[in-house]
Amino acid sequence: MAYRVVLRAQQKHPVRFILPLLLLVTLLVAVWAESRDYYNLLGVSREATTREIRQAFKKLALTMHPDKNPGDHTAHEKFLQVNRAYEVLKDEDLRKKYDKYGEKGLDEQQGGRYESWSFYRYDFGIYDDDLEIITLDSGDFEAAVNSGEIWFINFYFPRCSHCHQLAPTWREFAKEMDGVIRIGAVNCGDNNHLCRRKGINSYPSLYIYRAGQKPEKFNGERSKDNLVRFSMQFITTTVMQLWQDCLEPRTRQKLAGMLDGLVKVGWMDCTTQEQLCASFQVTSGATALFPPGSSLDQQGSVLWLNTLDSKEIYSQVINHLPDLELLTSDSFQRKLAHHRWLVSFTFGDRGTASNEYKKLQAFLRNDHIQVGRVDCIADSELCQSLYIHKPCVAVFKGLGIHDFEIHHGKDVLYNIVGFARDSVRAHVTTLRPDNFPSDRKEPWLVDFFAPWCPPCRALLPELRKASIQLAGQMKFGTLDCTIHHNLCSMYNIQAYPTTVIFNGSSVHEYEGQHSADGILEFIQDLVNPSVVVLDPSSFAERVKGRAEGQIWAVDFYAPWCGPCQALMPEWRRMARMLSGQILVGSVDCQRFQTFCQSQGVRAYPEVRLYPSNARQPDRFMSYNGWHRDAHSLRTWALSSLPRASVDLTPESFRSLVLSGQDHWVVDFYAPWCGPCQHFAPEFEVLARIVKGEIRAGKVDCQAHYQTCQSAGITAYPTVRFYPYLGRRRYEHSGEPINSRDANVIADTIRQRLQLLLPQLHSKPKVNVCLCQIQTQTVCRRKKNLTCVSFCTGRALMVSGLCQRKDQQYMGQGGDRSGLDWSSVMISQQTLLYKNTAVTQTDRQTDTDCYLLC
């Protein structure tokens, strides 16, 4: 069960025992807190990356696992603590809650189980120790695949045997292609939401990603040569024929890809271009770099490369390329005033990264972002004025030198490129004391963060997305609390990240998920609150005095309570999800302590549901679930609603859905199916939304297998729409609805009914049946019809293809008596029967048949 703050009556103790007892308890709590600190348990720093946390946990798992310590009766409890620490710190949202509230901000359910020792030894973190393979997660996947580099990504699952069989080949392939393309891996066990979003439904799945293009799946035999051959076809850089060397064609193509946008790669066949090779004084295979303006006449202007290895050639060429443009105090303001720049700020030794930065010019050329560098030792005053005290990369957005954003992600090329492209489109600025919105004339969202904090770094790209959505409505800024300690202390910032919205005199702290959608929902909730703030008077009037049919969900909380603070954003989110279904309120029990005690509230948060029975106003149900997320709370609340859908049997399905005169939406489900159980309350919401327009029913496919099989149901849950179209009965299979969102389904059905409106509100004068006639047709003019035909006996055969004036559908041969039949033009064999009862009885006399030609 989730943590709650429980209030208990104090007991009297002799005064002489209070101080020693207090000291003892304090020491025990301090020792326990130190031993239980999740970072200490794993032996990692608070700024550790997800990969470092995973590596540290794996080392501990292999030594501390109970399977390896059968004689230690405490091994199980010790390993549970380590496993719990890993489960929390690997998850960005849980890690943020832990950093801010400690263990009390988390759900107790997690961490109660762990895998076998062999899982951690053989299945866990397959590629964590491979330098050539970059393990991607939800936080950096999009930045990677949209960076402009080619990525070949292996989506795998830890328990998949084929994934483990591929691993050695994938490692060899990664070493072969290192530097040519990026090789990545995604663990779908840890990133199941990402994999589902990308349509991954089998393992391993290998995809090539190129920015702005559809991913290409590899479907061949998973050998190294096949993988190389497949990936090389996406390196489209042209190799011009110049000279012959000993580089293999594939090596030349690799080199062209590695130097794409920086250097043109060519080759010359000296067996056919003998004179040209002689002019270059080339007598054997050789590789040379010709910088701009170089000539054989100029001594030393051509760089001869004495290697045939593509990586060594690449390294020598990159070293020889000109450096980034140097910006100084004199040129900085002038050049950045009206142009977008990515600037590398350096302090002395620049390391190997500076050579890789030379490729930035090629990657960002089409984005109209120029690339330069500033030497902060030579121009210390410039860097100090921008509060830059260590090497970093910043994007200036073309609005002057004070509107910029510093990059706090991984110091790798693909991450910097993605940051630059996002930053110039976004409206996030790096704040300092001189531009901090202290007067707050306009609404501002300010993110107080620390660069070493992984949840902080994960939030930054989401802020950029949100700033684009709210352009012109709200300004966004970030403040580095490791630099601006005093400013952060002034606003009582005690945990990172802390996101605050300043709107005039109002200050609101954001406690929701680290996503752009969550931020947008929170801001929308500030404008139109979804939770009713209740006091004793309004509680008595609105909750206790609720009308028949009204349901209230109420959160009794205390502002100082950590679990209450963690619940609040989920409570607001749940309220938005329940809008129009259940009323949602909250009571501040710190402010109204006596009232909460009178209601029997003894722990915080206390979540209660007051059902629709107005004759029992004091009756309520308390929430005792494990999880306090919006979806779990919503499912619990909706379970109290009276059902708006009906259960369908095979008989009622045939009589009401297939033969009745109502529109139906039907949920085909199985009782054992988890997604079906999750969808059940959503379907009830749908039933209420469309009540009065469309009837809603459910078919239990475990109990009524034949009905579901006849309807073509192959997966659960499946939603189908059965519109009523007058006399015509709809197909047994209905129309598929590919959504599990009640509002989306309702909109889809209503749009479909709009298209069917002409049929629903106008009765056609005639029905149409296409009848195959075995006779000769004689056409002639008659009134407003084009032709007339005379049919002889035994000429009529019902083909089974029937059509109304505006809707084609399949029918079965049989008795059609009592219907008026006419026809539409299909062929000369299609006859118009006017005022004729159609049966399969042989015709013995001629029938007047009108043919519409």
Q: What is the pLDDT of residues 135-169, one digit of tens each?
A: 888 777 887 888 778 899 999 988 777 888 898 89
Bigger pLDDT: 517 or 800?
Answer: 517
* Same domain, residue pair 473 and 496: yes
* Same domain, residue pair 134 and 212: yes
Residue 635 lies in a domain: no
**pLDDT tens-digit series, residues 614-648:** 678 888 999 988 788 888 898 888 887 888 899 99
Is-contact 354 325, C-beta < 8 A? no
Q: Taking residues 774-779, what's their average pLDDT?
A: 31
* Same domain, residue pair 744 and 660: yes
Which has the closest alpha carbon to 188: 212, 210, 206, 169? Answer: 206
Give the pLDDT confidence score for residue 812 in this predicted structure.
35
* Same domain, residue pair 662 and 754: yes
Residue 465 lies in a domain: yes
**Range(s) of the domain holding residue 332:** 326-392+415-425
Least confident residue range of 81-95, 311-325, 827-841:
827-841
* CATH code of the domain containing 98: 1.10.287.110
Residue 25 lies in a domain: no
CA 744 to chain centroid, in Å, comes to 18
Residues 6+ apart with CB under 8 A from 354: 323, 324, 344, 346, 373
Bigger pLDDT: 392 or 13?
Answer: 392
* Same domain, residue pair 589 and 663: no
Bigger pLDDT: 33 or 84?
Answer: 84
DSSP annotation of 442 reads: S
Residue 267 lies in a domain: yes
* Same domain, residue pair 542 and 608: yes
DSSP annotation of 542 reads: I
Which has the closest alpha carbon to 359: 314, 406, 390, 395? Answer: 314
Q: Domains in the chain: how many in total?
A: 8
Give the pLDDT confidence score for residue 13 in this predicted structure.
40
Residue 620 lies in a domain: yes
Give the pLDDT confidence score for residue 842 in this predicted structure.
31
Looking at the predicted structure, is the pLDDT value of residue 717 above 70? yes
Question: Residue 648, SS3?
Answer: coil
**pLDDT tens-digit series, residues 537-583:** 999 999 999 888 889 999 999 988 888 888 888 898 899 888 888 99
* Same domain, residue pair 205 and 219: yes
* Same domain, residue pair 286 and 382: no
Beta-carbon neighbour count of residue 166 at 10 Å?
20
Residue 398 lies in a domain: no
Is-contact 580 611, C-beta < 8 A? no
Question: Residue 608, SS3?
Answer: strand
Residue 31 lies in a domain: no
Strand segments, DSSP code E, in 504-595 are: 506-510, 532-534, 552-557, 583-588
**pLDDT tens-digit series, residues 181-231:** 889 999 888 888 788 888 887 788 999 998 778 899 998 888 999 999 898
Looking at the predicted structure, is the pLDDT value of residue 232 above 70? yes
* 467/760 Cα distance (integer angstroms): 46
Q: Taking residues 482-495, what's their average pLDDT?
A: 90
Give the pLDDT confidence score for residue 813 in this predicted structure.
36
pTM of the model: 0.52
**pLDDT tens-digit series, residues 344-387:** 999 876 655 567 788 788 888 888 999 999 999 999 999 999 99
* CATH code of the domain containing 434: 3.40.30.10
Give the pLDDT confidence score for residue 1 in this predicted structure.
45
In which residue are the tokens 């809603």 written? 696
Residue 64 lies in a domain: yes
* Same domain, residue pair 254 and 312: yes
Percent of the chain with pLDDT over 70: 70
Last residue of one domain, picked from the residues 512, 527, 542: 527
Bigger pLDDT: 283 or 414?
Answer: 414
Give the pLDDT confidence score for residue 263 in this predicted structure.
63
* Same domain, residue pair 273 and 284: yes
* Same domain, residue pair 383 and 473: no
Last residue of one domain, picked from the residues 186, 202, 232: 232
Give the pLDDT confidence score for residue 303 in this predicted structure.
61
Give the pLDDT confidence score for residue 99 in this predicted structure.
75
Percent of the chain with pLDDT over 90: 24
Give the pLDDT confidence score for residue 815 in this predicted structure.
36
**pLDDT tens-digit series, residues 413-469:** 888 988 999 999 999 999 999 889 877 778 999 999 998 887 888 889 999 999 999
DSSP annotation of 339 reads: S
Q: Taking residues 230-234, what's their average pLDDT?
A: 87
* Same domain, residue pair 148 and 111: no
Which has the closest alpha carbon to 629: 572, 551, 667, 676? Answer: 572
